[in-house]
Amino acid sequence: MQMMCEFARLVMLARGADGLDTALDHLAQADAVRAAVPDGTEGFVPWCETGAVHYRRARVLAEAEAFPAALVEVESAIAAYEQGGEHGEVPRAEAARIAALVEGNGLGRFKEAIARLATAAERARKADLAEAAQILDALRQDDQRRQQG
């Protein structure tokens, strides 16, 4: 699954939006692999793997400027990471950062992005992720300045 996500990333890096279909095909293959893994397989963490594929699909779609679809995927990644409890907080914070970038920069919905970032930063602080909270707060402040200007 990680290999298919990496292939998707590399296709977009090399071909940009022209590689979207190929990248999405790689991610569909990752979904198929995930679905084929039997429940209880040692070393397989379903919430993490599911979140990673949604996260990568969101990034691919955002790079192709398919922002509404990217937002749906990154919100699915956030939901998957939430299933991991405290173990999912780091990737959840990163997914929230990407969601806010899609909302603000991609969709021009700075108010929503600012609210998302404030909530995510507070959650990161509660999870003792000071660096993540700082990154989220800095992005929130940037969005606030952009919204005012």
Q: What is the pLDDT of residue 39?
A: 87
Tens digits of residue pLDDT in 71-84: 999 999 999 999 99
Residues 134-143, mean pLDDT to the nearest whole number: 96
Q: How confident is the model at residue 148 (pLDDT cuts 50, 70, 90)?
A: confident
Is residue 3 within 8 A of residue 10, CB to CB? The reply is no
User: Residue 114, Cβ neighbours under 10 Å: how many?
Assistant: 21
Average pLDDT for residues 138-148, to the nearest whole number? Answer: 93
User: Residue 122: what pLDDT?
Assistant: 98
The radius of gyration of the chain from alpha carbons, rounded to an integer in Å, stands at 16
pLDDT tens, position by position, 36-72: 999 899 999 999 999 999 999 999 999 999 999 999 9
Residue 149 has pLDDT above 80, yes or no: no
